[in-house]
Structure 1
Amino acid sequence: MKMHANQLTVLPETVRALVDEQFPEWRSLPIRSIAAQGTVNAVFRIGDRLAARFPLESADIESTRRWLESEMEATRELVGRTRFPTPEPVALGEPGAGYPLPWSVQTWLPGIVADNEDPGESHAFARDLADLIGDLRAMDTRGRTFAGTGRGGDLQAHDAWMETCFRHSEQLLDVPSLRRIWVTLRELPRGAVKDVMSHCDLIPGNVLVSAGRLAGILDVGGFGPADPSLDLVSAWHLLEAGPRQVLRDHLGCDDLEWERGKAWAFVQAMGLVWYYVESNPTMRRMGQRSLERILADKSLA
């Protein structure tokens, strides 16, 4: 089942043809589809060291190329800046063989995503995650500020989207309770804090785990300036109560920053349950689990 109304189909034979035509040096390398739960790209391995990523939603060629180029620039900026491995950009492919958009190639990062190896009870993982967030925050924004329309700017700018989510979730979730939570969260002030460098999407599918420790970070193309609380979504998407407190203590979060992180996790989770209710069970379950953690948090009482 397709996740998006305008979703493209990317077949292995299409990828084989594109690689052979545009990157003949890789003609001898096998092509393998990755059964990932991502919602933005179809991912294929090229040999053992490379991954090709194909945007899943139909779009304008030039806007897609600019998006991929900005992702590659962000990826390049982050490589080697923390102790946790991240993919490296390799190449940009062009439309062809029936696929209508540009596509990208980066290094393959081995490991098990947190969807498949749950680190939620690991205090050591929580400390690793705090170290990562701290390292990201310490990087120079070079004068840049949040310029997007998604998560990372003004909470109240998401009111219309949240209303859409509540309306579509009435048969799926306890919407009256969730509405009451949003009434509180949306009023949290930004304060005078400046934007910091952030991963911007620290969800289980973008985190690699090994033996209860953080082993690598994926999908780093959104790395950029944002509300300092944005990467705290990871506290609710990835951690149970004990390790969540470890993360907070390690980062030294005050009440406002912590609650705004919860608010961003709430915004994201509300959109996952109804949108992916049938098309992506992993994303739906992630949204439900995060909302359950937020509902159980006593600070909202």
Structure 2
Amino acid sequence: MGAQRIADTRPQIGEALVRRLVDSQFPQWAGMDLRLFDPAGSDHVIYRLGEELSVRLPRHSGAIGQARKELQWLPQLAPHLPLAIPVPVGVGEPDFGYPWPWAVSRWLDGEVVTVDALGDSPGAAVELARFLAALQGVAPDGIPDGNAGEALTGRPLSDRDRATRVAIAEVDGLFDAAAMTELWDAALSAPGWGHSPVWFHGDFHTGNLLARDGRISAVIDFGGLGVGDPACDLMIAFTLMSADSRAAFRDALGVDDATWMRGRGWALATGLNAYTHYAAVDPRVAAQTTRQITQALIG
């Protein structure tokens, strides 16, 4: 599905709609100043609400479960983690023509992490490794069985096989298709996660990290939060880090060869997906995903 078709199916979200939703469902915050936060990413429209809060409204159906997921699980995870994460304070309901649940959270100050600022920092890499180790160390208790738990169950890398091979063919000539195919085959052939399921962030890239005073301060956007194989979170090594900081990250997290290979596969697959959907219309995404793909090939 192309970017134009995706855009055509999304609800129109403007300040007047957000004002009505907030004022009617959260009267304690009625009339508080609303300011559009831009750029906010591909999944949500974000408004600042006063100085302390934010309102996040999904742009598309793929993000509609995040508000309730974060409200349920983030308060349980936060006390165990060494970096700040979002603090949800309420979930709004569909109304006024807007079709999905939406969220109000505490605002987290900080600048989005960039490669230029922290990509060469072994200290930042180790800090991220410690965050992931802490997240993986939280016992995934209380997750329901059956359909209610499916949203938290990690999907295997093989589920992306067909889409990834189609994307490799689509970008042949822009990237090395033979090298991508070789990496993808190796990632699919790598031994799977042989331990108990652990928590993973699920979308662990530079756009979901904040920094203050030159140090990583917060991890945001837990829409992909789940339990299973944590290899997907290794994508941060290829979206942010240089070779030296990547080595420090891997050493600090203690990643074995098979998990690292699956992580490279996740970085390739997610990078290709974003590139083929958005690179033509968003130069920022084009640059980020080009780096992600090429660094995954380097390893």
Percentage identity across aligned positions?
29
1:10-38 Cα deviation digits (max 9, x unpaired): 11121112212222221231101111241
Partner residue in 2 for 1:29:
32
Partner residue in 2 for 1:218:
220
Partner residue in 2 for 1:170:
172
Q: Map residues 32-51 of structure 1 onto 2, 5 A cutoff.
A: 32-51=35-54
Partner residue in 1 for 2:255:
253
Distance in 1, Cα, partners of 2:209 & 2:256: 25
1:257-286 Cα deviation digits (max 9, x unpaired): 222211111111111111111333323322
Q: Which runs of 5+ in 1 are unaligned?
A: none
Match status 1:236 vs 2:235? no
The more displaced of 35-44 and 84-93 is: 35-44
Distance in 1, Cα, partners of 2:8 & 2:88: 29
Distance in 2, Cα, partners of 1:118 & 1:164: 34
Q: Over aligned residue pairs, what C-alpha RMSD do you find?
A: 2.5
Partner residue in 2 for 1:278:
280
Match status 1:75 vs 2:38? no
1:44 alignment partner AA? Y
Once the 2 structures are TM-superposed, how far is the Cα of residue 153 of structure 1 from its aligned partner? Answer: 3.5
Contact 2:118 2:124 in 1 (8 A): yes
Once the 2 structures are TM-superposed, how far is the Cα of residue 85 of structure 1 from its aligned partner? Answer: 0.8
1:124 alignment partner AA? G
2:85 alignment partner AA? T
| Corresponding residue to 1:15 among 18, 25, 41 | 18
Pick the structure with more helix per residue. Answer: 2
Q: Which structure 1 residue ranges, 4+ long, deviate > 6 Å from structure 2? A: none
Contact 2:91 2:104 in 1 (8 A): yes
Contact 2:10 2:59 in 1 (8 A): yes
- Secondary structure of 1:80's counterpart equals helix
Distance in 1, Cα, partners of 2:282 & 2:244: 29
Q: How many residues align?
A: 292
Partner residue in 1 for 2:96:
97
1:78-129 Cα deviation digits (max 9, x unpaired): 2232121111111111223332322111111110011486411111101110
1:259 alignment partner AA? M
Contact 1:37 1:280 in 2 (8 A): no
Q: Map residues 58-137 of structure 1 onto 2, 5 A cutoff.
A: 58=61, 64=64, 68-115=67-114, 118-137=117-136
Contact 1:74 1:220 in 2 (8 A): no
Partner residue in 1 for 2:269:
267
Distance in 2, Cα, partners of 1:171 & 1:90: 48
1:107-159 Cα deviation digits (max 9, x unpaired): 11110011486411111101110110110011001275984599x43222221
2:135 alignment partner AA? L
Contact 1:204 1:237 in 2 (8 A): yes
Q: Which runs of 5+ in 2 are unaligned?
A: none
Distance in 1, Cα, partners of 2:115 & 2:104: 24
Distance in 2, Cα, partners of 1:94 & 1:88: 18
Contact 1:6 1:58 in 2 (8 A): no
The more displaced of 79-88 and 129-138 is: 79-88
- Secondary structure of 1:79's counterpart equals helix
Distance in 2, Cα, partners of 1:76 & 1:284: 34
Once the 2 structures are TM-superposed, how far is the Cα of residue 176 of structure 1 from its aligned partner? Answer: 3.0
Distance in 1, Cα, partners of 2:101 & 2:193: 40
- Secondary structure of 1:220's counterpart equals coil
Match status 1:159 vs 2:161? yes
Give the TM-score of the pair, scaled to structure 2.
0.88
Contact 1:121 1:242 in 2 (8 A): yes
Distance in 2, Cα, partners of 1:149 & 1:168: 31
1:12 alignment partner AA? E
